[in-house]
Amino acid sequence: MLTLYDKLLISILLSISLSFLIFIRFNSKGNTVYITVDGNEVMKSDINVDRKLSVKGAIGITEIEIKNGRVRVNDSPCNNKTCVKSYQSIICIPNHVAIEIVDNDKKLDAITR
């Protein structure tokens, strides 16, 4: 049985976790979309330019859409279509296609040797 203090601790931890996720979600803005197949960069595009792309992967063509500063997969030859239901950074493992949004304007926060 959970005590009042257990419930309070759980709700505080959940609130902190949710706040962190919301902060990350709304503060992680990139400006360049990198598309790779088998780890090799095949395409680079500005995220603010609306366009549709077709990328040949290991098992077929992946159709990608960049629109309103977001990236999504419209269609993919894989069976489970998990990548079609995803937004932002996307990986289609069966087709070996990865899509990543990177902020190229971000300043360095540290340099190590």
The reported pLDDT for the residue numbered 61 is 94
The reported pLDDT for the residue numbered 57 is 92
pLDDT in tens, 43-95: 999 988 999 999 999 999 999 999 988 888 999 998 888 877 766 678 888 99
Report whether pLDDT(105) > 80. no
Which is higher by pLDDT, 22 or 68?
68
User: Running DSSP on this structure, what letter comes out for residue 7?
Assistant: H
CB 79 within 8 Å of CB 94: yes
- Which residues have a Cβ under 8 Å from the Cβ of 113 and sit 6 or more positions away? none
d(CA 11, CA 9): 5
pLDDT band for position 112 (cuts 50, 70, 90): low
DSSP string, 9-76: HHHHHHHHHHHHHHHHHHH---SEEEEEETTEEEEEEETTS-EEEEEE-SSSEEEEEEETTEEEEEE-
Report whether pLDDT(109) > 60. no
